[in-house]
Structure 1
């Protein structure tokens, strides 16, 4: 059996889709479906069961999970609170840190490969410096701190364990099945919705200087499956190694949709101004050293491919404004 936490979420459901393609159907989805509209992400997937995230960890800690689940091949731990604007520290530390620790300890105990989602947010506002040193990790909000602290915990236990433990620091991921994320969905999705609703696309002032490393979800999934199949342990940046400005992304979107709508520039809201990443770019040296050399989807190709998918699929059921 394969366990995917956050399996109804953006990256989780894309991992399941890829697993189905290679004939893995015995999959347990662990998630929180308080947002019931996320069910749509699972409707075309083959899974063997679903379990609420709280029941799952409770059973795990009580050792009652053993009688229910046999022979776990791998755990893809994608479940987390991914909102960078969430400031409930107690909730974030319980959900992103303690939950991850409990699941990790179980996997180590039973020698189960554990591949988890970390975040480029651990680097703070600007990743233009060399990222190979821990001194450049400067989380700037409680979300990024929860991810940062778990990475630090991983570093302390890695030399002591024999089972696979792999952390993947996702940069700006975009692609199908992210609509439920609302304001946390990619800029590509946001622009598509605004243009579809005949609204002027909004960008922050200075968007030519605001640059991010955008990576298609198919590449993220490929790295996850590659890490599992090759027994890769460690913590790795997962981006393309190239940054693109928000202006550049917007121009690709407008060109793809044959739209001449005028861009509306707004100031970065005060509540996020001090915690907003202005530049990100993955350092792929460690990933390449581990043996990953596949070509990433070109940003122009990826954005156009995604926009075509959006135009062919119903995303209004998420009731995103």
Structure 2
């Protein structure tokens, strides 16, 4: 059995889809469907069973969970809202729940591949290497992810089975509709363009020109390729950046949307006061460690990924058919 927590979410449902593409159906999807829109992400996917995350987490905490043999856990379930400042909720959901699941896997030698975040690098002023000297959490979400990474580092020397954390940079692609304000720039700006015939971006801040903020944008299909590469190489363990290693400005990114749609222009709006000091104006993964691990499947060129995703947004509102 393969377990995918957050399996009805953005990256989780893409993992389930790729498992299906490989002919794999013995999958337990774990998620919270309070937001019923996520049900749409499960349409067309084949899996053995579904379990509510609260029930799953309780059984993990009590060590009563049993669904037979488990050969891998893809742990994608988390609250990813960087604007949620309820630290107690974040730590309970993202940290404590993850610890319970990790302990369960370690006791049974089950490979554990989990979602970390590039938000653990904070402003990025110290770089984007998988190094404690580069880490700085600017909000409760980032702190919950960073603290779990620190917990993992303590246990790695004791682990007999694979443990890998992936620090996702700016992931975009199909099945992210439910994420609302946490959805990718392309999802938000594609719909803004359809409604208003323009795309708004922030004016320059922290030394960056208007729309000049830079992100390491990575297509969700490439994220799944990275995850599966590590799954196929159980000797690999640790925390790795999951980004392309190449930054692109917001201007460049949204220009691809305008080019695909054949209409629109960019309008710059004042940078929000509430985000000053809490905003990453620049991200670019250091992929040295990833490449040393032998990853050789490349990354989709940004303009090709933007076009492909825009076609899916145009045809099926961002869902796989």
TM-score w.r.t. structure 2 length? Answer: 0.95
- 2:248 is aligned to 244
Determine which of 135, 141, 144 is the counterpart of 1:143: 141
> In 2, Cα distance between the equivalents of 1:253 and 1:262?
10
> In 2, Cα distance between the equivalents of 1:312 and 1:129?
39
- 1:113 is aligned to 111
> In 2, Cα distance between the equivalents of 1:114 and 1:180?
26
Alpha-carbon spacing, 1:89–1:239, altered in 2? closer, same or farther (3 Å): same
> In 1, Cα distance between the equivalents of 2:72 and 2:129?
28
- 1:97 is aligned to 95
1:123 CA drift (Å):
0.4
5+ residue gaps, structure 2, are 205-209
- 1:170 is aligned to 168
> In 2, Cα distance between the equivalents of 1:61 and 1:125?
34
1:136 CA drift (Å):
1.1
1:130 CA drift (Å):
5.6
> In 1, Cα distance between the equivalents of 2:160 and 2:148?
19
1:63 CA drift (Å):
2.9
- 1:195 is aligned to 193
- 2:281 is aligned to 278
Corresponding position: 1:80 with 2:84:
no
> In 1, Cα distance between the equivalents of 2:130 and 2:9?
30
- 2:314 is aligned to 311
Contact 1:128 1:280 in 2 (8 A): no
- 1:30-49 aligned within 5 A: 30-49=30-49
Corresponding position: 1:234 with 2:238:
yes
1:274 CA drift (Å):
1.8
> In 1, Cα distance between the equivalents of 2:63 and 2:249?
48
Contact 1:128 1:281 in 2 (8 A): no
Alpha-carbon spacing, 1:269–1:130, altered in 2? closer, same or farther (3 Å): closer
* TM-superposition CA deviations, 1:126-151 (whole Å, max 9, x none): 36736243211111111101101100
> In 2, Cα distance between the equivalents of 1:312 and 1:128?
42
Post-superposition, which runs of at least 4 consecutive aligned residues in structure 1 deviate over 6 A? none
- 1:63 is aligned to 63
- 2:27 is aligned to 27
* TM-superposition CA deviations, 1:225-280 (whole Å, max 9, x none): 11111112110000000000001111111011111x23221122222222110100
> In 2, Cα distance between the equivalents of 1:285 and 1:118?
18
1:125 CA drift (Å):
1.4
- 1:319 is aligned to none
Partner SS, residue 196 of structure 2: coil
Alpha-carbon spacing, 1:315–1:309, altered in 2? closer, same or farther (3 Å): closer
1:289 CA drift (Å):
0.9
1:30 CA drift (Å):
0.5
> In 2, Cα distance between the equivalents of 1:79 and 1:58?
14
Partner SS, residue 236 of structure 1: strand
1:65 CA drift (Å):
1.4
> In 1, Cα distance between the equivalents of 2:63 and 2:129?
39
Partner SS, residue 116 of structure 2: strand
* TM-superposition CA deviations, 1:270-302 (whole Å, max 9, x none): 222221101000011111111102210000000
Contact 2:211 2:268 in 1 (8 A): no
> In 2, Cα distance between the equivalents of 1:219 and 1:245?
20
> In 1, Cα distance between the equivalents of 2:219 and 2:126?
21
Contact 1:128 1:279 in 2 (8 A): no
1:59 CA drift (Å):
1.7
